[in-house]
Amino acid sequence: MCGVVGIVGGTEINQELYDAMLILQHRGQDAAGMAISDGERLALRKANGLVSEVFQERHMLRARGKLGVGHVRYPTAGTATSAEAQPMYVNSPCGICIAHNGNITNSKALREDITRKYNRHLNTRSDSEILLNVFAHELQNSDQAVSEPASIFNAVTAVHQQCIGAYAAVALVIGGGIVGFRDPRGIRPLIVGTRVSSAKSSPDYMIASETAVLDILGFKPIRDIEPGEACYITESGELHIQQCAEQHTHTPCIFEYVYLARPDSVLDKISVYKARLSMGESLADTFLERFPNGAHDVDVVIPIPETSRTAALPLAQRLGVDYREGFVKNRYIGRTFIMPGQSIRKKSVRQKLNVIELEVRDKVVLLVEDSIVRGTTIREVIEQCRQAGVKKVYLASAAPPVRYPNVFGIDMPSTDEFIATGRTEEEIRACLGVELLVYQKLEDLKRVVRSWNKDIEEFDCSIFDGRYNCVGVDASYLSQLSLERNDYTRAIEDVFEIEANEEHTASGHVNA
């Protein structure tokens, strides 16, 4: 999961691009980067860390121009400490930078084509660099000028023909404009918006992962970029949109609505906030099925901050009990399921969440979580409740059990690390040590999210049902993916990377 943004403005956009990346920070806390062009030269800055850590005043003063793309990242391929930050750049043709959200599943085969057939050099293991070079190669072979809309759309068409997987991308073409395109299944979100200014004749444009960015910065959403479509905004402010995929369906990732997106965003015409409210109502019905005549003994409903709050509120209303905030969250601790190493994650949970004892002591508490992946967070939360004197702990998850790896851009752990792997729901309950565990039913989840946009016939629910509907994603692919995401493998890679960086620094190969 990453966040991408591209802006075509009438004035200097460095501050606005920075603000947009801050708004998207929830989509990636591993690295950040931006590329800005004045039509001739490019200013590129990227590094590991939060947006506020990567960009200082001196960096912003050097980033001048009216076209730019930004990216916030946590890794989809590679290790959590990787320096493969985005946007990524190639100088031919004309200079192109790309910011990508998703994952290319046939990257191994494409890597061989790019290096052997196209004679292009790849400097990282990132699938985003592969996507960039496929796009650049096709644009370079265009019969027309690379800045012409026809050239851009033909290049995106070729990308669709070659790249398999998920990709919502924005690209800066120096001397041309900003391009946004989405894979033929529309798995990851991408929206285009505009803002009219009295100070200039042509409007400003923004392409971003979520509508919240547009709203906060004063842009009015035009529409979602549809699966297979490309949106090209020239530096002079001309908007062009064209379908570039011969075959396209619409199967957005349902986990965007469960966990990934901000609640104030609207993705594919579905309000994330309303979808989560509906999840809570449905979850309440499933919970009440466990009690004859609905006669439950819950005293209080408490969400695990903070994505589950929206679902917990209607659940409490349906049960007729109090909704309470039972945990105080330290906002300066990152998302634990993406942290490297189980010991680090466990320690971070204790630092991130602290129970309010008076809300749980001598009570039957129903904890609400948006989803349960490893179970690291919820185990520590349950233990805190026990230590605070809770009478009983019930647990409800707004999502079904996570049993399968994500191959479309969410760097979830190895399948072996999922708490649901190889366990029934009763066994998971016993493993977590709660008196009752209730999961959202998958069909209910799909039904309530789809109720807000009936034009969407299906969602990508692969982390719940293991149905990837993607060529090449087989047992061998998943086995290799699991190996790459294994905590031990990552730790070994991190050691080599740290040692390599130290050697380069010692020999003067890294600029301070």
Catalytic positions, written as ranges = 2
3-state DSSP helix/strand/coil % of the chain, to nearest 5: 35, 25, 40
Give CA–CA dist 220/114, Å, rounded. 39
**3-state SS record for 14-43:** HHHHHHHHHHCHHHCCCEEEEEEECCCCEE
- Length reported for the chain: 512
Quick one: which of 402, 397, 382 has its CA closest to 439? 397
Per-residue HEC secondary structure of 166-214 comes to: EEEEEEEECCCEEEEEECCCCCCCCEEEEECCCCCCCCEEEEECCHHHH
Q: Is 59 left (phi over 0), alpha (psi -120 to 50) or beta?
A: alpha
Would you give the DSSP letter of residue 479? H
Q: Taking the CB of residue 112, how many other CB atoms lie within 10 A of it?
A: 9
* Tokens coding 366: 């129903």
Please give the structure tokens belonging to residue 122. Answer: 């790849």
The residue type of 6 is G
Nearest to 436 by CA among 491, 368, 495, 482: 368
End-to-end CA distance of the chain: 29
CB atoms closer than 10 angstroms to residue 211? 23
What residues have CB less than 8 Å from 51, skipping those under 6 apart?
18, 21, 22, 25, 32, 72
Nearest to 467 by CA among 441, 449, 439, 442: 442
Collapsed DSSP state (helix, strand, coil) of residue 57: helix
Which residue has tokens 């993406």?
338
Cα gap 180→197, rounded to integer Å: 22
Contact 212, 27 (CB under 8 A): no
Distance CA 335, CA 116 (A): 39
Sign, Cα dihedral of 227, 232, 233, 239? negative
Instruction: Using alpha carbons, select from 189, 196, 156 the residue that is nearest to residue 173.
Output: 156
Helix axes 376-387, 425-432, angle to 10 degrees: 50
